[in-house]
Amino acid sequence: MPDESATPPAAIAFIISAYIVFSFLDASSKYLVLAGVSALFVTWARFAMHIVVVALFLRCWRDPARFLPRNLAAHVLRGMFLFGSTMCNILALRTLQLAETTSIYFFGPMVITALAGPLLGEWAGWRRWLAILAGFVGVIVITRPGVGVFGMGHLLALGSMLSNCFYVIMTRRMSARESAESLILFAALAPVFLMLPMFALPLSLPQDAWHWVIVLLPGVFGGIGHYLLIRAYRLATTTALAPYPYSQMVWMIGFGWLIFNQLPDRWTLIGAAIIVASGFYILHRERRLRVRNRAALDAETLELAKKL
């Protein structure tokens, strides 16, 4: 079991690399939809290539039984939540900057904390609820409804974030009974097969070899990114690595400037700072509760040992 007292440098390198790769995924998706390629096709290609990459990395031919699902319906529903999150994000990138969609996406852990009560029985205390409300204020600062800023792109980004929250919650519920390999594979396999009827529609496909090459990249980046996450979490705990996903904001701002000549305005940066600060408080609070519970358990064990 990974040691919570120290975070191996390799784990930090893996998780930072994962979010650099995820930033490439969003940047390539934005490039494609701005070039006129159908968002439906970009999404389908992203999951199709994800399957290829995962199959190669996990060598699925060696032990296919690892990938067998126990609850196929749950896998399909979870895959559709991931599809909804990806599709809404790609559509949002048509009009929003990379930094804007990422800032709204960072509100996800707070929404998960709120939803974990009714859906998982993991209720948040009043301090964490205040952090959730503060994070919501950060989203309001970014979207600024009522002043002519809030648009369809913001609504799609919020839909992407919410769909991903349900995807994460289903992952938590299913991880106790389903193999990690089946969770990784079916998250992409379900959307690929369920989206096949879309090819009967008049889709805008890539028009030249360069765009066909880029179409392959989101799936490759997604597969590699998830592989790097797995490597990171094998070396360190979720709590120890929790702050590092916020580094994605740096990469998104950089790619937005280098590729699209876009820089976030001050309201986006202020809102992002509020959301990140709220997220860090929730992480800090959960760490303190975990330490307190462990101390109580150790004391109880000590008292029991004295009686034996």
Return d(Cα 101, Cα 36) in angstroms, integer: 20
For residues 275 and 99, the answer to whether their CB atoms sit within 8 Å is no
Instruction: Give percent of the chain above pLDDT 70.
Output: 83
pLDDT band of residue 239 (cuts 50, 70, 90) is low
What backbone torsions phi and psi does residue 141 show, to the nearest 5 degrees? Answer: -60, -40
pTM value > 0.75: yes
Q: Tell me the pLDDT tens digit for each residue of 159-207.
A: 999 998 888 888 878 877 888 788 888 888 888 988 888 888 888 888 8
Question: What is the reported pLDDT for 63?
Answer: 80
Question: What is the reported pLDDT for 122?
Answer: 65
Highest-confidence segment of 13-17, 84-88, 119-123, 126-130: 84-88
| Per-residue pLDDT at 13 exceeds 70 | yes
Q: Which residue has the higher pLDDT, 8 or 52?
A: 52
Q: Which residue has the higher pLDDT, 220 or 3?
A: 220
Question: What is the reported pLDDT for 20?
Answer: 92
Lowest mean pLDDT among 83-87, 116-120, 134-138: 116-120
pLDDT band of residue 10 (cuts 50, 70, 90) is confident
Question: Position 243: which residue type?
Answer: P
**Per-residue three-class SS string for 196-240:** HHHHHCCCCCCCCHHHHHHHHHHHHHHHHHHHHHHHHHHHCCHHH
Question: What is the reported pLDDT for 52?
Answer: 87
